[in-house]
Amino acid sequence: MRSHDDRPYDWVGAWSRKRAELSPDTVGLVDATTGDRFTYAELDRRANRVARLLRERGVEDGDRVAVLSRNRPELVDLFFATAKTGGVLAPLSHRLAPAELVEMLNDVEPSLLVVEEPFSGLARDVLARERRAFDCAVLSLSDDAEYSYKPWPDHLPEDTSAVETADVSMDDPHLFLHTGGSTGVPKETVVTHGSILWNSFNTITAWGLRPEDATPMVFPMFHTGGWNVVTVPLFHLGGTVVIAREFEPAEVLDLVESEHATVLVAVPAVLRMMAAHDDWETTDLSSLRFAKSGGGPCREAVMDAWWDRDVDLSQGYGLTECGPNNFTMPDGWPREKADSVGVPAMHVDARIVSESGDELPPGEIGELELASPHAADRYWRNEAETEETFGDWVSTGDLARRDEEGYVYIEGRKKNMYVSGGENVYPPAVEDRIADHPKVDEVVVIPVSDDQWGQVGKAVVQGDESLTLDELTDFLDGRLARFKRPRHLAFVAEMPTSGPSKIDRQAVEEEFGDGN
């Protein structure tokens, strides 16, 4: 007899069919680049065609489909189709170098590689690498592929009728989503059907999502944000997701108004650029029930700008290995808690522990650990880092504290903390105060060696380069303890980024750290 966890209507392979039955005429996906709109009935028919294509090529029972593409409807087709066949979708960042991609593909060992035309040259470079150890078919999403990969449209079966879904359990993988690795090559995080389902539950219950919700999806679909932050939960409910190949602040503002978006989740940089855009004051934001910031601390000035437009903006927190939606703001939360990420969501436990693993009392800073059925299963073929991160609790590598009311505050990465004159310094707290200066658009604080204090801070600023260190020091007087104030100042024309407009702190440190 099948266990409860094996019932097909419990896992992701049944979702597009169920949605097509429950809300066939509701638009589930909008492609803002082409203007195409797809109902849930159409999405299921498309998924059935792609599932047949995958089965024709033997992609099922845990076989992987790797993708190099921007956000397109075909990625949604592959998400649902791999769920139907028991395959695994492994989207890869097209921002990575060929040397990194070939190592990742060697690890993933895809049965099929799907390439969007702009990245055909990148794929050709990867496939020509001497270190390549995988073999797979390659399909181009274009029907006029420059590099003669077989065109995707020519291989899609015409049959859109329902397919037999695979017999998989909630513990079987459905997504490989990559995250940073200590060796420089990203690790593949194994996200199961159960992880996806439970994260969807947590997001719906924590954020109060509704079937009528609509959102512009500004995260790339090679990132957990592109799927699990709000796309999959809205598909689960029957909401509407708007995608595009590229998103500019003006386009996001336009889509909020034209699509009557009710939910917006973005990294702080995107929220800041939207608020600084010329169209900001004239865009109708009244449809937004709330906005969420994730991927790093959101500056006070950015939050104020959104609050001034009567948008309920708060901060979230997550990671590829767990969730990523782990916290929520209680009803009627006070603005003085805006620096926090809220309290644990319905099906999430959180604790803050010392170096020895003992749980710390409120107010003390330690490593944040999370436990939830939405946690990922492991790192693919990486036992050492799996053992270090996964267990009864997921070790996040982030430092945090909890206040007396249970609100959690993220203090930064363990590896980014430094010690100056015997005092612990947490860069995000320093950056928040520096960012208040009117000449500062963005800032990263990194440690550099100092003969007297061991380490001191160096502020790397994007902004008005007339700012001097003395001017900044005077500004911080009374705002920041002396040992926290940076002793060095450098400027950058634009902050390096990784992922969805997320500042690449490692790149900043490599360029401006000791010896530079």
Query: Is 62 a residue whose pLDDT tops 90?
Result: yes
Query: pLDDT digit string (tens) for 151-208?
Result: 898 899 999 999 999 988 999 999 999 986 544 578 999 999 999 999 999 999 999 9
Q: Please check whether residue 465 is in contact with residue 439, taking contact to mean a CB–CB distance below 8 angstroms.
A: no
**Confidence grade of residue 146 (pLDDT, cut at 50, 70, 90):** low
C-alpha–C-alpha distance, residues 75 and 427, integer Å: 37
pLDDT at 245: 94
Q: What is the pLDDT of residue 453?
A: 82
Over 80: is that where the pLDDT of 476 sits?
A: yes
Confidence of residue 416 (pLDDT cuts 50, 70, 90): confident
Is the model more confident about 464 or about 424?
Answer: 464
**Overall average pLDDT of the 253-267 stretch:** 96
Please report, rounded to a whole number, the percentage of residues in the chain having pLDDT higher than 90.
Answer: 75
Q: How many other CB atoms are found less than 10 A from the CB of residue 3?
A: 8
For residues 78-92, average pLDDT: 97
- Compute CA distances 335 → 209, 243, 327, 381, whole Å: 22, 32, 16, 44
pLDDT digits (tens, 9 = 90+) for 337-380: 999 999 999 999 999 999 999 999 999 999 999 999 999 999 99
Q: Which domains does the chain have, with CATH numbers?
A: 4-13+42-198 (3.40.50.12780), 250-315 (3.40.50.980), 329-414 (2.30.38.10), 417-512 (3.30.300.30)
What's the pLDDT score for residue 2? 32
- At residue 261 the predicted structure's pLDDT band, cuts being 50, 70 and 90, is very high
More confident site: 30 or 185: 30
Give residues with Cβ within 8 angstroms of 268, minimum separation 6: 293, 295, 296, 297, 298, 299, 302
The Cα diameter of the chain in Å comes to 74
pLDDT of residue 500: 61
Asked whether the beta carbons of 193 and 172 are under 8 A apart, the reply is yes
Residues of the chain with pLDDT > 70, as a percent, come to 95
Average predicted confidence (pLDDT) for the chain: 91
Range 147-154 average pLDDT: 80
pLDDT at 8 over 70: no
53 with 124: CB under 8 angstroms? no
Q: Where are the beta strands (DSSP E) in 434-516?
A: 440-450, 454-463, 488-491, 497-498, 502-503
Region 61-90: mean pLDDT is: 97
pLDDT digits (tens, 9 = 90+) for 304-325: 999 999 999 999 999 999 999 9
